[in-house]
Amino acid sequence: MSRNKTTTIVSTVFASSLLLSGCGLFGNEVQKKIDPPKDVTIVKDSNSAVTTTKKATETAKKDNKTGEMVKTELYLVDKNGYVVPQTIALPKTSSVAKQALEYLVADGPVSELLPKGFQAVLPAGTEVTVEVKDGVASVDFSKEFKNYQAKDEMKILQSVTWTLTQFNSIKNVKLSLAGQPLKKMPVSGTPVGDNLSRASGINIDTADALDITNTRPVTVYYIGGDEGSYYYVPVTRRVSNQVKDNITAVVDELVKGPSYSSNLVTDFVSGVKLLEPPKVDNEKVTLNFNESIYGSFKEKVVSQHLLDALVLSITEQQGIKEVVVEVKGKTELVKEDGKKLTAPVTRPEKVNTASF
C-alpha cells in the first residue's frame, strides 16, 4: 500500500554547488518520506587517530608529487543516519581504493573536508590495506576496526562497499580483520558474504514490503539535506516480482516517493505515469511520460531535481547509461533553466559534487 504524506514546499531557487553538475528549482510538490535510520555514533580513539592521520597524510603527499587532485565519492553518514555519496577532491594517487577508505576513517585526513552535518564511518585509528584483483577488492582492517557501535554496523558495510565499487576495476569487496577473513561483523554479528556488492543495497527500506519472498531490490534516489544544501540519497526498496521490468519498477518507486516520517523528498507527483513500456536500445532507454511529469509548474518545464533523480536511479540498472525523456511521445522538452533537453541524459561521473 502506498504511503503518502502531503506537505507544501515553497518554490525556491538555490545555489548550484551540490546537485550533480547544476542547480534546480525545488518547486511546490508532494513531499514524501521514509523512516530515517537511528542516530549514528562513531567511537573515537584520539591517540591512534593521530597516528593514522599522520600516516595517511604523509603517504598522500609522498605519492602526489604533481599536486593534482582527483574527485572521489566518499560514502559518508549524514545527520539523519543516511549513507550518502559526497564527491570530494583528494590528492592524486596510484592507490585510489586504499586512499578512499582512509578518508572514511573518523578523525582521519577527511576531518577538515567533511560537509556540514556529515561524518566518517570507520572507527578512529583504523588502518587499511587493499588489494584489487580480477574485479575484487580484498580489504584488511586493523584491530581498531572493532571500535564501533552496533547500530552503525550496516552503515559501515554499505559505506565501504559503495565507496570501493565506484571504481571501474572493482565489482565486489571481500573483508578481513587483522589478517583473518571476516565472516560476520565483530560487534553485532551481521553476516559478511565472500563478495559484497551494490546488489546488497544501501539505506534499505522494507516498510512497504509485506511479502519479502515475492519481491526484489531496486535502488532509487531521493532528495535529502536542507535548503541551500540539498543532495541525492540512494535508497534500496523492495518491489513486487509482478512488475517484470526493473526500469518500470524504478519509475514506480520514484513516483511513490519515500515512505512516511522522513526528511527525504521527491519532485515526482503522484499522477506521473509511463504511457508505454520503456524502450531499451543498446545502453539507452526511452521513457514516455504523461504531462504530470511537469509537476506543478505553470509552464511546461521539467524540474532539474526530477531529471537528476530519474537519471541516477535508472542508470543504477545494469547496462543502462543513457536516458531519453519524452512527454506524450515528443522530445525536445524544456528544462527549468529555459534550455531544451535535446539529447539523451547520461549519468554524471560523480554524485553530489560540492565545494566546501
Segment 49-66 shows an average pLDDT of 50
Q: Dump pLDDT digits (tens) for 70-85.
A: 999 999 999 999 999 9
Taking alpha carbons only, the member of 141, 256, 145, 161 closest to residue 203 is 161
Could you give the 3-state DSSP secondary structure of residue 337? coil
Dist CA 285 CA 221 (whole Å): 18
List, as own/partner pairs, every contact residues 339-346 make where C-beta atoms lie below 8 angstroms and the sequence separation is at least 24, other chains included: 341/302, 341/307, 344/284, 345/307, 345/311, 346/311, 346/315, 346/321, 346/322
| pLDDT value at 233 more than 80 | yes
Dist CA 220 CA 198 (whole Å): 13
Task: Name every residue whose Cβ is closer than 8 Å to that of residue 244 and which is 6 or more positions away in sequence.
Answer: none
| pLDDT value at 107 more than 90 | yes
pLDDT given at position 283: 95
304-326 CB burial, b ≥16 within 10 A, e <16 = bbbbbbbbbbbbbbeebebbbbb
Taking alpha carbons only, the member of 197, 199, 202, 266 closest to residue 234 is 202
pLDDT given at position 212: 78
Of the ranges 196-200, 214-218, 267-271, 329-333, which one carries the lowest mean pLDDT score?
Answer: 329-333
| pLDDT value at 281 more than 90 | yes
Q: Dump pLDDT digits (tens) for 17-46.
A: 334 433 332 333 334 444 444 444 333 343
pTM: 0.82
Q: Dump pLDDT digits (tens) for 147-166.
A: 999 999 999 999 999 999 99
Q: Do residues 128 and 96 touch, judged by C-beta distance below 8 A?
A: no
Which carries the bigger pLDDT value, residue 126 or residue 34?
126
